[in-house]
Amino acid sequence: MAKIPDKEDLIFRPTRDETYIAFAAAVDSWSKVEWQMMFLFNSVSTPTDLNKSGSILLSIIGIQAQLRVIEAAARSHLRKDPDLLKDVERTTEKIGKKATIRNRIIHGRWNETHCFNGAEYQHTELIRTFSAEQIFGPTYSTEQERKALLGKFLFDKSELDKAAEMFEHLSNTIFNLQFRIVSGFAPIVG
């Protein structure tokens, strides 16, 4: 009779491809945040011309500068609705904080390492490097050192999945805020 595997033998170990797919999913999720930022800017700047507001926002270099422009337009457009303006400011603050995580994923050079426990493959990790001199990136020898690098210089599948989920949630938050803004300023017909 076959022996039932122990619980620890049933733990899922992501493959190399799954780690890279998670990397692409995180990048894609951030692109949705940027798309929603364009709609948010449109709703507080030139609500009748998405092409114009999109061109303006995309011509601004850097996420922090884009966020300051969204806030400035919101202060003008929402001056009679301080609660909605506060929500814009809270949302732009969230975007700014999450942009740090996005930058850690997007910028730098990437090396991969395959983690083994003895001869058994555990998972693939992506390690961010910044220069040819630092070709192998930061290293660790203990689990505590590894955890300190996670989300900063070291990304495994679960860390990338967490970032993608966070970016998706942020994208929905921006969408809902933008929808509230345009709903409150809908033109009166008739």
Alpha carbon distance 22, 185 (integer Å): 39
Can you tell me the distance from the alpha carbon of 168 to that of 54, in angstroms, rounded to the nearest whole number?
21
Residue 113, pLDDT score: 76
Residues of the chain with pLDDT under 50: none
* pLDDT attached to residue 153: 80
- What's the predicted TM-score (pTM) here? 0.80
CA 160 – CA 21 distance, rounded (Å): 9
Whole-angstrom Cα distance, residue 126 to residue 139?
12
pLDDT in tens, 128-140: 776 555 666 677 7
Give dist(CA 70, CA 62) in Å, integer.
13
Nearest to 101 by CA among 26, 19, 17: 26
